[in-house]
A and B are shown apart, each in its own frame.
Chain A
């Protein structure tokens, strides 16, 4: 999936001349945490996040004696030259960038113009969709040997049981490198026939999978 399919296109921005107070107000009213800062010609020159603002203003209005921090221009508090992305980057790349750089958003730039923004929250929702957890379903985990063709063998069981699969995830078995764990969501309240089918085909079904409890 490409970032352009996921990004928010209607981006709220401010200019370097706007004040810290402006930024706080916009963030509160629009319930957002990231503001790209644009110069007069529309170029992204910086980014202001809730973290930048915490550095300059006291945590509570009540301790405020001096109002000057609120008047500070954003040019002085923004992160300059932020990391940006392109609409045709892959969503997975964005996730890696967030993780490696410990950042929470990416302004998306095309032809030197801001065309969108993507945040951790948007990525997280995409992840939820990938796991199938946004639709009613049951989750089954199957421990399989890490060998070619194994997914075919497992999926045969779902085919035989006419089971509608919502999602499939694969992750490594922490206890044994020679195995993989398949996490499969099906849109049925009754996974018993599928589980029996998997067991009959010799697969190790973990349902549920709680470390230290093998029943």
Chain B
């Protein structure tokens, strides 16, 4: 029988770990899964173990030499500094044991999710271990070694002949995926992110629209530092609706970085849990309307792993299961279990406390600037439809 949703997970996904002090921490997945279990929203039967991506699959989006370097690094066979030009052994992507296997496992998880959806065993599939959107063809970058979404999109094209719409709501620009498909008119990338003025990686301007025959299939919505819920959501809703209508995808892949939240230490956006409640529900509606439901979701950034990510990511699964967004207290056993380990006091309810922060000066100007950005970014579609 066809399932409504599957959750891709195994303990092996936790092997992708640079060090205990590195901001990218896959313990987030455990925290999320435990929250869902204790909320009674997931059962063992919903969970599917990921497979490891083969070298042949990785080569769909990565360079042979780069893969060799990652393999050697993970076995301790790399001369010091030999990986630097490949982004391996840097501050952001340090070498760790078996890094090739761990990285290929995250890619394999997204491929498992793709197969579940495209072979009709599930309408939706979630791989929180994926979403490593900064990985480049021949270089690791921004905490990402292999780019699971780039590989998965190539895989969707090759195995299923699908037109793919990639939607990235991580606070950082989805540069790796964008550049992988910049020339390709059959893949559309859409990224909403804090402007690159201060934030890594610095790209993602509205003028990055694709190249050659791929012109017009790359969309960027850079929002200002200090952007709040209402402006974020209005841009997300309008952008996703108009771009989907224009591009007419067969399947939607969403990257669900949870780092646009006020608490996130690496970014300057002022989102609250409300955006994470809405983002997946709107993605699901769009997939229903335009893609017969086909929707694959992956994780991404998210560096407040205690207060933000578990609740934010739980909402993706809840949206897939069509469970109304919960309100009120989190399960007490979840709170007591994890509070011991958390260096900060956990938020005890599904909603954020109100108010979460002091009012932002210049809010109206920021909203106005974002609205102007949105209309410039969508001009290419709106103009075409008039003609």
Binding site for B on A (CB under 8 A): 133, 135-141, 162-164, 185, 187-192, 207-210, 212-213, 215
Contacts and interface: CB of A to CB of B under 8 A. Distances in A.
Contacts of B91: 162-164, 188, 190
Contact of A192 (B141, B143, B266, B268): B266
Given A163-B91, A188-B91, A213-B362, A133 B265 contact: no
Contacts of B197: 139, 208
Which of B175, B197, B265, B358 has the most CB atoms of chain A within a 10 A radius of its CB? Answer: B197
A134 to B, nearest CB: 8
A210 B266 contact: no
B226 interface: yes
A185 B362 contact: no
B172 interface: yes
Q: Which 5 A-B pairs have the closest CB atoms?
A: A136-B201, A189-B200, A189-B142, A208-B198, A138-B200
A133 B172 CA distance: 15
Interface size class of B (residues with CB under 8 A): 20 to 34
Contacts of A190: 23, 91-92, 143, 266
Interface in B168-212: 172, 175, 196-203
A136 B199 CA distance: 9
B134 interface: yes
Contact of B141 (A136, A139, A185, A215): A136
Given A140-B198, A190-B91, 18 more contacts: A136-B202, A139-B197, A139-B202, A187-B90, A187-B92, A188-B90, A189-B141, A190-B23, A190-B266, A192-B23, A192-B266, A207-B198, A207-B268, A208-B197, A208-B225, A210-B224, A212-B361, A213-B361
Contacts of B361: 212-213
Contacts of A208: 197-198, 225, 268
Interface of B: 23, 90-92, 134, 141-143, 172, 175, 196-203, 224-226, 265-266, 268, 358, 360-362
A192 B160 CA distance: 42
Interface of B is mostly: loop
A58 to B, nearest CB: 23
Contact of B200 (A163, A188, A210): A188
A139 B195 CA distance: 11
Nearest to A137: B202
Contacts of B198: 138-141, 207-209
Given A210-B226, A213-B361, A188 B266 contact: no
A210 B196 contact: no
A162 B91 CA distance: 8
Contacts of B265: 192
Which of A139, A208, A212 has the most CB atoms of chain B within a 10 A radius of its CB? Answer: A208
Contacts of B268: 207-208
Interface of A is mostly: loop
Contacts of B175: 136
A73 B206 CA distance: 41
A138 B82 CA distance: 24
A136 B203 contact: yes
Contact of A189 (B134, B224, B225, B362): B134
Which of A137, A187, A189, A190 has the most CB atoms of chain B within a 10 A radius of its CB? Answer: A189
Which of B175, B197, B202 has the most CB atoms of chain A within a 10 A radius of its CB? Answer: B202
A213 B92 contact: no
B134 A136 contact: yes
A213 B226 contact: yes
B195 to A, nearest CB: 9
Contacts of A138: 198-200, 202
Which of B91, B143, B265 has the most CB atoms of chain A within a 10 A radius of its CB? Answer: B91
Contacts of A141: 198
Given A190-B92, A192-B265, A137 B225 contact: no
B224 to A, nearest CB: 8
B200 A213 contact: no
A184 B224 CA distance: 20
Nearest to A166: B202
Given A163-B91, A208-B225, A213-B361, A189 B202 contact: no
A133 B202 contact: yes
A189 B196 contact: no
Contacts of B266: 189-190, 192
Given A136-B142, A164-B91, A189-B172, A210 B202 contact: no
19 contacts: A133-B196, A133-B202, A135-B202, A136-B142, A136-B200, A136-B201, A136-B203, A137-B202, A139-B198, A139-B199, A140-B198, A164-B90, A189-B172, A189-B200, A190-B23, A190-B143, A190-B266, A210-B224, A213-B361
Contacts of A164: 90-91
Contacts of B199: 138-139
Nearest to A139: B198
Contacts of A163: 91
A138 to B, nearest CB: 4
B222 to A, nearest CB: 13
Contacts of B203: 136
